[in-house]
Amino acid sequence: MKRHIYRNEDGFSFEAGGRVETLEVAYHTSPMEYKKGMKVIWICHALTADSDAGDWWADLVGPGKLFDTDKYFVVCGNMIGSCYGSSGPSSIDPKTGKPYYFTFPKVTVRDIVNGLDEVRRHIGIDKIDFLVGASIGGFQAFEWSVMHPEIIGRAVYIATTSRISPWASALEESQRMALEADQTFRECASLQGGRKGLECARSIAMISYRCDDGYNLKQPELSDDTLFADRACSYQRYQGAKLADRFDAYSYYYLACSVSSNNLGRGRGGETAALGTIKMKTDLIAIDSDILFPPHEMEKIAERMPNATYHVITSHFGHDGFLLETKQLEQIIRPIVNEL
């Protein structure tokens, strides 16, 4: 996929207050130039992913694949608040010449979608034929489906929810607490601040992204005589360091806050009323072992939508099944894409 940067120099106002005079949103597209009449597939990415969906969803995105970048105009936009090219706390504040850190406005899911919709209009896309998002990408897909239903032909929401639950909110706060516990985080001396806190936050997150089955299958102790179990511990440390090598604590903090802002019914008469406005054909795909957004929650969401079909896929790996169980996802989504 081809990388682009959208730049808005007319200013951007945020739902929770605050404004930036210049907004940038990184996005990737199919390698060809968009022309009216092309079928558009828009992918909304998850928390610490970037807009290169062909990288993190390699089995599904690319030439000849489910989301065929030669056949369709495929787009994925990077979330506002991320450190992968879109404006956020790690961006340079033109007033100081230093990163914004905590002076960047708080970001909500609606802000993210407003930024993506600016990109859509910049490209010249009048209709998104197929919208898909998993996890926080699903938050965006739900929000977009309510904000601009007239532009969306079909939508699929994977391992996600229309309102953050107290359980998921507690998990996000635990990760923010881990960042705050690192004394270098609030110092804002460099974007390396809060690194150890970020490693810990990622460890907490991994427990919610996976499940006992996956850990027991992949991280068992190799000796019958183990004194102190360490294999899963080593895996947690590895995952923490791996994220800290590619992400910064400030962007993570802001995106964790945006997760907590997910409330489709805010200002719309409540969640049920908002879901009822999504009239297009939709599909909700839950993962049987997902403890972050459990199947029973997604099933209740589907029941409140006028034209929704509910599916469940199986996985040993919990919420991360949306990244790993690509064959099952394709079985459900392929017939939908073939109808575009």
Closest CA to 322 of 275, 289, 283: 289
Catalytic one of 82, 135, 162, 251:
135
Contacts for 302 with CB less than 8 Å, ≥ 6 apart: 284, 308, 309, 310
Annotated catalytic residue 290? yes
Catalytic one of 283, 290, 316, 320:
290
State the number of CA atoms in the 13 A half-sphere of 18 facing the CB: 15
**How far apart are the C-alpha atoms of 50 and 29, rounded to whole Å?**
12
Catalytic one of 28, 117, 319, 320:
319
Active-site amino acid positions = 135, 290, 319
